[in-house]
Structure 1
Amino acid sequence: MVLGLTGGIATGKSTVSRMLQNRGAVIIDADQTARDVVKPGTEGYRKVRERFGDDVFGPEGFLNRKALREIVFRDANARKDLNEILHPLIIRKMKEEVDRWKQADVKHPIVLDVPLLIEENLTDLVDSVVVVYIPEELQLKRLMDREGISADEARRMIKAQMPIEDKKVFADVLIDNSGSRADTERQVDALWQTSVSKSGSARL
């Protein structure tokens, strides 16, 4: 079974991803894939340098993701250009990873950990959409605390994404991460039991 795990910034998606990994899930992480497709010598590396110049690369030649992130969070056109460069490369690589694990006949669920699963219409790649949710005000507070930034900066970062309340509508499974860690663990346990059962009943 292939689960699509998504959420909003500071909602706790990475926490839920680790919980699933600890239970034995195969995690295919879009953020890690995004790093892989811009390594020196790759097509992504070349295209990002052509579009954004040398300023977003460090002295060793590697992409400075923080510098690039600051540009795209402030400039919608830059964000659009970056997405058009990277998303096809990321999707292709993730599909290759899913196929590789399926061919390995893995019995545990495969989790595509993708922040833009819904926005990029990638739900056809998965059997079930799992949204990690917290209310927007809590999302704002957690982002401010995590990044040490102002409310205005946090709001700008949140606004750059699809509202979490809108993502919630697309969920086959909703993980409410607004309570304690134990509350979240219980919800992940329930998801895990269902997913393992389905994985076991149909060979991947």
Structure 2
Amino acid sequence: MNKKVVVLTGGIASGKSQTANYFADLGCHIIDADQVAREVVHKGTSGWQALSDRFGQKILHPNGQIDRQKLRKMVFNDRNALADLNDITHPLIQERLMSMIEQSSGLLVMVVIPLLSEDSQIEYSHRVLVVDVPEQMQLRRLQARDDIDLILAQKMMAAQISRTERLKLADDIIPNRGTLSELKRAVKLIFDFYVYAFK
């Protein structure tokens, strides 16, 4: 594959979406892994059928679509159920992502994966780029963004991998502690590195 594939990740409220938008403005092809995860279990797909068979009708909305919130609660404290969910969805997501990357006409493709972990990495990516903010700043931004209290914000952050674990996965880091203009300049620098310097 001649394309350069970069995985973009970061904690909740770290600025992933804005960062991806700036990369898109520079001509980078953006693929949203969350959207792909929804598509592969859409009603009528093989993924939808497999989840329905494994978890039953109780995970479905009245319209037949997967109720992702119910499914999430079901697997949250059940390792076997979580393993089954991953066994069903991960190969479908990987296959779809690979197809989208191959079909992309851009030389730089960025796959946005909010909940990247060692288990969910894309095997064919060249770099992992982490948008990083200090945890206290992340908490303040999350509270302001979602209009929630500190306790709920802390619980939401605790449900993700830690900042330390996330940074261990990184090949490159964009600090997002300042203004949008500073973030935009940082994106341009790393974009130039990926396009012109990184082989």
What interval of TM-score do these two structures reach, taking the shorter chain for normalisation? 0.7 to 0.9
1:96 offset after TM fit, Å?
1.7
The equivalent residue for 2:167 is: 168
Q: Please state if 1:25 is matched with 2:28.
A: yes
Unaligned runs of 5+ in 2: none
Q: Please state if 1:37 is matched with 2:36.
A: no
Q: Which amino acid aligns with 2:37?
A: A
1:70 offset after TM fit, Å?
5.1
Q: Distance in 2 between matches of 1:156 and 1:177?
A: 22
Q: Please state if 1:84 is matched with 2:84.
A: no
Q: Relative to structure 1, is the Cα distance of residues 146 and 42 closer, same or farther in structure 2, using a 3 angstrom cutoff?
A: same
Match for residue 46 of structure 1 among 29, 43, 49:
49
Q: Which amino acid aligns with 1:184?
A: L
Q: Distance in 2 between matches of 1:198 and 1:99?
A: 22
1:76 offset after TM fit, Å?
5.3
1:66 offset after TM fit, Å?
4.1
Question: SS where residue 28 of structure 1 aligns?
Answer: strand
Residues 57-116 of structure 1, C-alpha deviation per residue, up to 9 Å, x if partnerless?
3232222334444555x5353544433332221112111222222xx4x33x11111224
TM-score normalised according to structure 1 size: 0.82
Unaligned runs of 5+ in 1: none
Is the 2:118–2:169 contact (alpha carbons within 8 Å) kept by the matching residues of 1? no
Q: How does 1:29-178 map to 2 (within 5 A)?
A: 29-69=32-72, 71=74, 74-75=76-77, 77=79, 78-101=81-104, 104=105, 106-107=106-107, 109-120=108-119, 122=121, 124-178=123-177
Match for residue 17 of structure 2 among 14, 19, 27:
14
Residues 132-152 of structure 1, C-alpha deviation per residue, up to 9 Å, x if partnerless?
111112222222333333333
Q: Percent identity?
A: 35
Aligned-residue Cα RMSD (Å) equals 2.4
Residues 34-60 of structure 1, C-alpha deviation per residue, up to 9 Å, x if partnerless?
011011111221222234443443232
TM-score normalised according to structure 2 size: 0.84
